[in-house]
Structure 1
Amino acid sequence: MAGLNRVMLIGRIGKDPETFTFEDGTKKIGFSLATTESYRDKSSGEWKDITDWHNIVAYRFLAERNVAKGDLIYVEGKIKTRKYTDKDGNNRYVTEIVAERFNMLSKYQPSEGNYQGGGQSTTTAETSSSPVKPEAPAATPEPEDDLPF
């Protein structure tokens, strides 16, 4: 049976990507991605966060995508571990996520102190001078009393 190596992450870019161009012109970018999970501590009842950092690399056309520190992105790819020898002759191992696709979920807006949502688009929506009418909440259906369970 064949194995499966698939990773899907949603997180924020930790620092601006580093770009590298190979001799043949192929581009590579590398960046760190933070994913955060929340849980409620049983003893204190407080919500706590656990953040994991992932090394992401992307090649060719993905390396030309415009992403920056703070952006919220979806990454899909596979885990790769590579071995190299450092300057002291020691063997080192690096585990990375090799991105096969990624989508911008929201662009970080440092001047506003918040984030812009909006799928894959990175353009800022134009603001209207007319007020926006809030939508009415959707009606919730009444529960049925004669359920078979």
Structure 2
Amino acid sequence: MAGINKVILVGNLGKDPEVRHLEGGVSVASFTLATNDHYKDKQGNRVERTEWHNITAWRGLAEMAEKYLKKGQQVYIEGKIRTRQYQDKDNQTRYITEIVADEISMLGGRPQGDGPTAQDQVQVQMSAEETPQTFRQEPELNQLPF
């Protein structure tokens, strides 16, 4: 049986997405997402903890993120957790863990920009017509589970 690598997050964007355009016109967006959790300590005081997640979106999702997502906006993200390594400026090996988004849904009210909300009925063309608050990345053929 194959393993399962699925992450579901609901949180707020820590910054506007940064989008890069690679060779061949491939777009990649990067941004941070804050999720909050709370618990009571031994004294009964409420303690809130914020976890920061690095999010990466590719191709059509990256273009959607660039166009519609803004700092502070609440989003739902489904994706896979990935750890990759790279060499820093001092030639030291570093590791970064990130969530590679497969789906992004905008939650809450209208962002500060002119992005769509759940109430808007505008259609956005991605791989198929979907309401603009939900965007999915189509799997590549080598990612199919069969």
Change (3 A) 1:42 1:80: same
The question of whether the paired residues in 1 share the 8 Å contact of 2:9 and 2:35 is answered with yes
- Name the aligned partner's letter for residue 51 of structure 1: T
Q: In structure 2, how many angstroms separate the alpha carbons of the residues matched to 1:82 and 1:106?
A: 32
Instruction: Tell me which structure has the larger Cα radius of gyration.
Output: 1
Query: What TM-score does the superposition give when structure 2 sets the normalisation length?
Result: 0.72
> What is the Cα deviation at residue 42 of structure 1?
3.2
Q: In structure 1, how many angstroms separate the alpha carbons of the residues matched to 2:94 and 2:11?
A: 26
Unaligned runs of 5+ in 1: 111-118, 124-149
> Match for residue 36 of structure 1?
36
Identity of aligned residues (%): 47
> Match for residue 97 of structure 1?
99
Unaligned runs of 5+ in 2: 121-146
For the residue of structure 2 that corresponds to 1:24, the secondary structure is helix
Q: In structure 1, how many angstroms separate the alpha carbons of the residues matched to 2:119 and 2:36?
A: 23
Change (3 A) 1:16 1:107: farther
> What is the Cα deviation at residue 2 of structure 1?
1.1
Q: Give deviations 1:28-51, integer Å, cap 9, x for gaps.
A: 1000000001112231x2222111
Change (3 A) 1:69 1:11: same
- Name the aligned partner's letter for residue 118 of structure 2: S
How many residues in Structure 1 have an aligned counterpart in Structure 2? 114
Please provide the CA RMSD for this pair: 1.9
Q: In structure 1, how many angstroms separate the alpha carbons of the residues matched to 2:62 and 2:111?
A: 22
Q: In structure 2, how many angstroms separate the alpha carbons of the residues matched to 1:13 and 1:82?
A: 22
Q: Give deviations 1:16-66, integer Å, cap 9, x for gaps.
A: 1111000211111000000001112231x2222111000000001111121
* Residue 62 in structure 1 maps to residue 61 in structure 2: yes
Query: What TM-score does the superposition give when structure 1 sets the normalisation length?
Result: 0.70
Aligned residue runs from structure 1 range 1-149, under 5 A: 1-43=1-43, 45-65=44-64, 66-107=68-109, 121=118
Q: Give deviations 1:54-108, integer Å, cap 9, x for gaps.
A: 0000001111121010000000000011111112111111100000001000246
